[in-house]
Amino acid sequence: MTHDQLLDAYAKLTVRSGLNIAPGQQLVITAPVEAVPLVRKITEHAYKAGASLVTPLFNDEQNTLARFKYASDESFDTASAWLFEGMAAAFKGNAARLAIIGEDPALLASIDPEKVSRANRARSKAYRPALEMISSFAINWNIIAYATPSWAKSAFPGLPPDEALAKLWAAIFKCTRADLPDPVGAWAAHSKALRERTDFLNARRYSALKYKGPGTDLVIGLVEDHEWKGGASMARNGIICNPNIPSEEVFTMPHRERVDGSVRATKPLSYQGTFIDGIRVRFEKGRIVEAHAEKGADVFQKMIATDEGAARLGEVALVPHSSPISASGIVFNETLFDENAASHIAVGQAYMDNMKGAAGLTPEERLAKGMNASLIHVDWMIGSGEIDIDGILADGKPEALMRKGEWVA
């Protein structure tokens, strides 16, 4: 297929499998300005699926840099609350949400970390009403990627720009299954396989997961009413969607006070335009008490200090080392892809869908049951071909779950 045909297949997959737009439903899209060709195709397929209105919102790297270079110091405590309130209102009206990512992973690498931290904190606070609709899975939502020149340069620094961009697009189409004859059918089969894995894990009712590997000796307790999820799931509005394309993970809710031990990241993290590499942390009673990073340490420290829940876990996810994204051998420098190459954890906000009955509880009751709350949700990778994971049963007995990064059964 030509690039245009592949882009169209990708757009159709996004609307049909990622979002599963319902007739009469609105769609809110955020995307980099470079992604206009894909946004136009998604808009076309959304209207064909019966969407009542598609509203795209674009961001631009140069505008972002201009702010950090020229804006007054006090401006970094300001965010577009009016915009996020409008988005929250749209989601409360059952609009679907699509985020298209593709920004330069190191866009803000040379910017004062304090400014970056303040801007991120202000944005996180303003975005909270909209984020709660997403993290509670109240609506159908989806995240996909668009290959931009700056991202391609980061992923393939040794290649000429055109070749790097073409290679990144080829990887995106392959990892999302958009290059197959029937991408929608392929995702249905893939979601079925992930659902079989979550059914197994939910039946085992592990009380904790124990990780062992180079630089890692970690126990993650799970909330008592945890629920494993993966692939396609039904949002609270009754629509079945795939939140992430690509996705190779099964994930659940850790207990915010039952994480102990040390862990080392196995891949770099790109966070809000800054690279963080060589992460090593130690947990005590659920909280990070020691944190180190070989690169981007200042940004990492400020990130986990965002609020009380930012230094605690909100998600734990299992991914086999042989996943298609891992097998590609590419470090994408983009969490959407890299998290699906390795088992990972996320500090910050937990997903309500990972606790049975959470939607009917007050915030205080959720907290008491072990569900973490925070302004942030940041995934980073801890899995590899050298990591062993045991599931710990309610009686304390360990059960081999993954060996050298692969499922035991």
For helices 113-135 and 297-304, the axis angle rounded to 10 degrees is 40
Percent of the chain with pLDDT over 70: 100
Average pLDDT, the chain: 96
Beta strands in 22-94 (DSSP E): 26-32, 53-59
pLDDT at 135 over 90: no
Residue 320: cis peptide before it, omega within 30 degrees of 0: no
Dihedral (Cα; 89, 358, 233, 209), 10-degree rounding = 130
CA separation, residue 111 to residues 45, 302, 312 (Å)? 39, 14, 27
Beta strands in 293-376 (DSSP E): 313-318, 344-348
Q: What share of the chain is helix, strand, coil (3-state, %, to 5)?
A: 40, 25, 35
Dihedral (Cα; 334, 336, 342, 345), 10-degree rounding = 100
The SS3 of residue 65 is: helix
Amino acid in position 314: G
Average of pLDDT values for 257-275? 92
Rounded to whole angstroms, the Cα distance separating 84 from 28 reads 12
Residue 246: cis peptide before it, omega within 30 degrees of 0: yes
Per the structure block, which two tokens stand in for 7? 């882009």
In the chain, CATH 3.40.1830.10 covers 3-175
CATH no., domain 3-175: 3.40.1830.10
Confidence at residue 300, expressed as pLDDT on a 0 to 100 scale: 95
Rounded to whole angstroms, the Cα distance separating 124 from 126 reads 6
Rounded to whole angstroms, the Cα distance separating 285 from 114 reads 29
Phi-psi region of 265 (alpha: psi -120 to 50; beta: other; left: phi over 0): beta
Rounded to whole angstroms, the Cα distance separating 147 from 105 reads 12
Percent of the chain with pLDDT over 90: 95
Average of pLDDT values for 18-22? 98
Asked if 289 contacts 262 with a C-beta cutoff of 8 angstroms, the reply is no
Q: What is the pLDDT of residues 69-85, one digit of tens each?
A: 999 999 999 999 999 99
Q: What is the pLDDT of residues 203-255, one digit of tens each?
A: 999 999 999 999 999 999 999 999 999 999 999 999 999 999 999 999 999 99
pTM summary value: 0.91
Asked if 100 contacts 38 with a C-beta cutoff of 8 angstroms, the reply is yes
Residue 129: cis peptide before it, omega within 30 degrees of 0: no
CA 393, 398, 404, 408 torsion-angle sign: negative
What's the residue count for the chain? 409
Per the structure block, which two tokens stand in for 185? 């059918």
Confidence at residue 273, expressed as pLDDT on a 0 to 100 scale: 81
pLDDT at 109 over 90: no
